[in-house]
Amino acid sequence: MSDLNSSARAYTEFAKGIWKENPVFVQVLGMCPMLAVTNTAINAVAMGAATLFVLVGSSFLVSLLRNYIPKQVRISTYIVIIATFVTVIDYVLKAAAPEVHRDLGAFIALIVVNCLILGRQEAFASRNTVKMAVADALGMSAGFAFALLCLGGVREILGSGSLFGISLFGPNFEPWVVMILPPGGFIMLGLILFFFSWLEQRARDRRARAALEGGA
């Protein structure tokens, strides 16, 4: 019974990261890599995967060691753990996919200072069991990857008329170049956040109306 409960809870921890507490759309964390590497969908996926590896790895290790890490030096310990995983993924990508590594450039190393990752260690992994911490890390990175893919997909479609490098509209499409340049990233993310707050507002209105009608 308790095993069933813990599985259900692990699932809840996983699911909240994707939508209800989405790191980008709701918590507005991890903006720098979010904007910098999303000029194509492929880069977005690579960044999402690298972040997933680092977040899951460090959440696993931090929650495993949570009773041994002295409170006073916990932040530095988390940073060392995160930096170790980032170094690993940096070297792995350099060997396995040199082109992706070149495109993402310094942003692989900069995963270290992604506030999303340190935030999850401090807020979640250091206080929960390994299973919950990994579920939470998986959910958060899935939510992050989802957000990256949204932004990367839209920017690539508008800015180069293709998706994952496959041309969508044929040769007559005039690409909206600004979308793959830095300003397009800012503006597009602004519009996406606007869209999300509109969705939320609509759901709230509907609930309020339902409550009103129920009361009457």
Partner 1 sequence: MESFVYIFMGAMVINNFTLSYFLGLCPFFGVSGKVTTALRLGLANIFVMLITAFCAWFLNTYILIYAPYLKIISYILVIASTVQFVEMVIKKLSPDLFRALGIFLPLITTNCAILGLAIFMTNKGYGLGQGLIYALGAGAGVTLALVLMAGLREEAELSDVPALMRGTAMNLIIAGLLSLAFMGFAGLFSGA
- Which one of the spans 1-9, 50-58, 85-93, 130-138 is the region binding partner 1 (CB under 8 A)? 85-93
Give Rg (Cα) of the chain: 20
Q: Is the dihedral of CA 192, 196, 199, 205 positive or negative?
A: negative
Q: Which is nearer to partner 1, 138 or 152 (CB)?
A: 152
Shortest Å, Cβ 186 to partner 1 = 3
83 binds partner 1 (CB under 8 A): yes
The contact pattern for partner 1, residues 125-164, with x = CB under 8 A and - = no contact, is ----------------------------------------
98 binds partner 1 (CB under 8 A): no
Shortest Å, Cβ 194 to partner 1 = 4
- Which one of the spans 40-48, 83-91, 157-165, 207-215 is the region binding partner 1 (CB under 8 A)? 83-91
Which tokens go with 112? 């270290």
Burial label for 98, CB within 10 Å (0-12, 13-18, 19+), is: exposed
Shortest Å, Cβ 39 to partner 1 = 11
76 binds partner 1 (CB under 8 A): yes
Angstrom distance (rounded) from CA 41 to CA 163: 7
Angstrom distance (rounded) from CA 45 to CA 149: 6
Contacts of 29 (CB under 8 A, 6+ apart): 23, 114, 115, 116, 119
- Which one of the spans 13-21, 75-83, 123-131, 136-144 is the region binding partner 1 (CB under 8 A)? 75-83
Angstrom distance (rounded) from CA 55 to CA 43: 18
SS3 for 96? helix
59 and 121 Cβ atoms separated by less than 8 Å: yes
- Which one of the spans 4-12, 61-69, 77-85, 125-133 is the region binding partner 1 (CB under 8 A)? 77-85
Catalog residues that contact partner 1 under the rule CB under 8 A: 28, 31-33, 35-36, 76, 79-80, 83-84, 86-87, 90-91, 106, 109-110, 112-115, 118, 178, 181-187, 189-191, 193-194, 197-198, 201
